[in-house]
Each structure stands twice: as C-alpha cells, then as structure tokens.
C-alpha cells in the first residue's frame, strides 16, 4: 500500500511539473510586466503555479518580478553588490552590530504597496547566518536568522 501511495504522489508531482512547464503566461501578466519594466532585457518566465515569475536584466542588474495571473505585481527583487548600495544603507550597516560579519549577498526587495528594503545576507561563521533588512535611510528594520 505504501508503494502505491508513493507511486501516486510521484505521478501527480510529474503532472503538476509538466503542467507548470507548458502553461502559457497570460497576456495580462506580460502586458503588466512591459508597463512596469519597459527597458528590461533577457526576460525569462517561470510558472510558479500560484504566480508567474519573470527573471530579467535592468540597468545591468539581475531582477525578478512576481505577478498574479491577473497581472498584479506581487514583489520585485534585484541583485546588488555591496558597493552599489545607497550610502545611507552602507552607513547603517557599518554602524550596526553586524559590521564585522561577512556580507554574502545583497538584494533589493519590494512588495506591492510597501516600501523598498535592502536585504543584506551576512555570515559570522559556518553556522550563523542572518538576513538584515534596511530601509532606504539605512535604518535596520528587521533581522532574521536563516539557515
């Protein structure tokens, strides 16, 4: 019985994966994307079942944007180098208790109708990692442990 259940789960997962790969991105989504990111290049779409995700370049920065099937943008992210951060954010990080931690990654993060945040992933050792969220003024607004 366990083998049958496992087989059913595998078959269903493959059907969902196959469906996710062949579902066309709705025009409402691509139109909304073009309106928001007219200068984007190298656009690639992924169907995430509950939303559609575009990966693209804008101003030589890698970005992602997630949209509902109705074309409403959910969130955007962009990859940055630490040196590309606004000076206020760099100052805020350098004045924080995490300034001696190793910076692993920096992204911009913005959800619809919410302010833009800069998420700096830092690492103290091989075990301790944190996400630090700074607002545009350099204020640390959130600090979470990550694996």
Instruction: Provide the residue ranges of all domains of the chain, joining segments of one domain with +.
Output: 1-72, 81-147
Q: What is the pLDDT of residue 22?
A: 59
CATH 3.10.450.360 fits domain 81-147 = yes
pLDDT score, position 28: 96
pTM of the model: 0.73
1-72 and 81-147, same CATH topology: yes
d(CA 94, CA 89): 9
pLDDT at 147: 78
What CATH code would you report for 1-72? 3.10.450.360
Low-confidence ranges of the chain (pLDDT < 50): 6-8, 11, 13-20
What sign results for the dihedral spanned by CA atoms 106, 116, 30, 25? positive
Calculate the average pLDDT of the chain: 88
């Amino acid at each position: 019985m366990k083998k049958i259940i496992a087989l059913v789960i595998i078959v269903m997962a493959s059907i969902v994966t196959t469906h996710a790969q062949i579902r066309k991105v709705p025009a409402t989504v691509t139109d909304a994307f073009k309106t928001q990111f007219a200068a984007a290049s190298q656009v690639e779409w992924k169907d995430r079942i509950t939303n559609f995700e575009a990966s693209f370049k804008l101003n030589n920065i890698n970005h992602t944007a997630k949209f509902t099937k109705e074309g409403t943008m959910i969130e955007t992210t962009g990859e940055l180098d630490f040196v590309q951060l606004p000076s206020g954010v760099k100052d805020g990080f350098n004045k924080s208790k995490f300034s001696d931690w190793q910076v692993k990654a920096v992204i911009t993060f913005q959800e619809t109708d919410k302010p833009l945040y800069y998420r700096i992933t830092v690492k103290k050792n091989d075990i301790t990692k944190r996400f630090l969220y700074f607002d545009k003024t350099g204020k640390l607004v959130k600090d979470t442990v990550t694996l």
